C-alpha cells in the first residue's frame, strides 16, 4: 500500500502537517524527560540517521580534517551518552559551561559514561545554532575549537544536541583518542 503524498511542510508519516516553527529545519524532535526535575528538554535527531550520526552528526566526517589527511571520526555510543546528558543538563537548567552544575569536567563525565579508551579528550560547546553545518562553521571560526576539529589524533566522537524550553539548541561534542 502506497502512502499518500505529504502535505506542504508535512510528513507522509504523520497525519497532520508539521507546525510552522518546525518547518524551518529538517530535524525530527523527540521529547525527553529529566527524572525528578519535572522539566523537559528536546533531543534533536537528524532524519534518516543510522544510529551513528543521528544526533546531528556535527563533525563525523570533518571535511577540513579530511583534506589534512585525517580519517573520519567514528561515533561512539558512550561518548554520545555523555554529550547528550551534558547538553540536556545545560538546556534544562539554563547554564552554559564545560563544567557540570556538580563541578564535574568533561573528562569526569566521559569516564562516568563508561568510556575507558584513550588518553586525550576534548569538548566543544555551542548554543543557538540551528543546524550541524552552522555549529561546525562556528567552531571553525574559533581557533581553539578549530584545533580540536582538525586534530587527527581524535578517532571517536559523540554529539548531543538538545533544544531548551525556548527552542534554542544547546550543542555538546566530545572527542577521544583510541
Q: What is the pLDDT of residues 6-47, one digit of tens each?
A: 445 444 433 334 444 443 333 333 333 333 333 334 444 433
CA nearest to 80, candidates 162, 16, 160? 160
pLDDT value of position 144? 94
Q: Which portions of the chain are predicted below pLDDT 50?
A: 1-4, 6-7, 9-57, 59
**What is residue 60's predicted lDDT score, i.e. its pLDDT?**
54
Q: 100, 151, 142: which is closest to 121 by C-alpha? A: 151
**pLDDT score recorded for residue 58:** 56
Amino acid at each position: 500500500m502506497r502512502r499518500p503524498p505529504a502535505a506542504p511542510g508535512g510528513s507522509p508519516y504523520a497525519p497532520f502537517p508539521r507546525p510552522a516553527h518546525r518547518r524551518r529545519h529538517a530535524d525530527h524532535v523527540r521529547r525527553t524527560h529529566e527524572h525528578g526535575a519535572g522539566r523537559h528538554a528536546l533531543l534533536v535527531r537528524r532524519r534518516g540517521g543510522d544510529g551513528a550520526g543521528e544526533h546531528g552528526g556535527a563533525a563525523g566526517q570533518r571535511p577540513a580534517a579530511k583534506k589534512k589527511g585525517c580519517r573520519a571520526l567514528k561515533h561512539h555510543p558512550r561518548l554520545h551518552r555523555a554529550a547528550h546528558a551534558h547538553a540536556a543538563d545545560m538546556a534544562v537548567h539554563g547554564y552554559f559551561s564545560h563544567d557540570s552544575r556538580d563541578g564535574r569536567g568533561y573528562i569526569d563525565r566521559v569516564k562516568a559514561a563508561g568510556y575507558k579508551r584513550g588518553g586525550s579528550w576534548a569538548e566543544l560547546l555551542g548554543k543557538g545554532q540551528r543546524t550541524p553545518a552552522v555549529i561546525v562553521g562556528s567552531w571553525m571560526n574559533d581557533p581553539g575549537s578549530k584545533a580540536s576539529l582538525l586534530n587527527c589524533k581524535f578517532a571517536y566522537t559523540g554529539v548531543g544536541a538538545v533544544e531548551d524550553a525556548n527552542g534554542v539548541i544547546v550543542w555538546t561534542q566530545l572527542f577521544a583518542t583510541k
